[in-house]
Chains A and B, each alone.
Chain A
């Protein structure tokens, strides 16, 4: 079974600064997808960014980018120019490309605080 680990329960960043959230995963599969989800106080899970394992290029979405290291099974999220609205729980997630159910396996989450 796949596992996803987020080793930082909490992180703090100054507004306008850059912060990196860590995620590692364990899998024996070669084809899969990785995601970062944001959960603000409203509780809704919002997709931030996703990465296909077969792509070497790191995904980027505006101020959000990832550092995907397939061999190391590492998938970190970098948030540039942090804004107050970025404060939330962030979850790293794995999804098999082969599993019929294609369910998400989530990490334990990292709470990001943004200081004005």
Chain B
């Protein structure tokens, strides 16, 4: 168990809908990363938050947004869902944001858009 909790584990929804994925980092970790794993795109970085502030954006669609709350948990909001958004969404956390910091990954949220 990495200590990073993601909910829900599975989510099935329809095209055009909006969903929220939740991530609780390890206790004390200030840094949260979101990644998307899909069959055609592989593992891609979406966004990074550190202590409530956005630090970097990757290949995140405009339909997607995220935030990190004062208690350090993070949410990834996906709207106007399309079939191609079906993927495994990972959250990872670390104490700080340094490159040598070990990342701890959650078990992911499997999103299926029908």
Interface residues of B in 76-91 (CB under 8 A from A): 88, 90
Chain A contacts to B: CB under 8 angstroms:
32-33, 42-47, 50, 52, 91, 95-97, 99-109
Evaluate contact between A102 and B99: CB separation under 8 angstroms.
yes
Scoring A46, A47, A50, A102 by chain B CB atoms within 10 A of each residue's CB, the highest score goes to A102
CA distance A33 to B99 in the complex (A): 7
Evaluate contact between B103 and A100: CB separation under 8 angstroms.
no
Contacts of A44 in B (CB 8 A): 2, 105-108
For residue B87, give the distance in angstroms from its CB to the closest CB of chain A: 12
CA distance A103 to B47 in the complex (A): 8
Chain B, Cβ-Cβ closest to A102: B99
Chain A, Cβ-Cβ closest to B54: A101
CA distance A105 to B45 in the complex (A): 7
For residue A110, give the distance in angstroms from its CB to the closest CB of chain B: 12
Interface residues of B in 29-51 (CB under 8 A from A): 33, 35, 42-45, 48
Interface Cβ pair total, 8 Å cutoff: 63
* 30 A/B residue pairs, CB under 8 Å, sorted by A: A42-B107, A43-B108, A44-B2, A44-B105, A45-B90, A45-B92, A46-B105, A47-B102, A47-B103, A96-B99, A100-B56, A100-B97, A101-B55, A101-B56, A102-B48, A102-B56, A102-B99, A102-B101, A103-B33, A103-B45, A103-B48, A104-B35, A104-B43, A104-B103, A105-B45, A106-B42, A106-B43, A107-B42, A109-B42, A109-B43
Shortest beta-carbon contacts, A-B, top 9: A101-B56, A45-B105, A106-B43, A103-B45, A102-B99, A97-B99, A101-B48, A44-B107, A95-B99
Contacts of A100 in B (CB 8 A): 55-56, 97
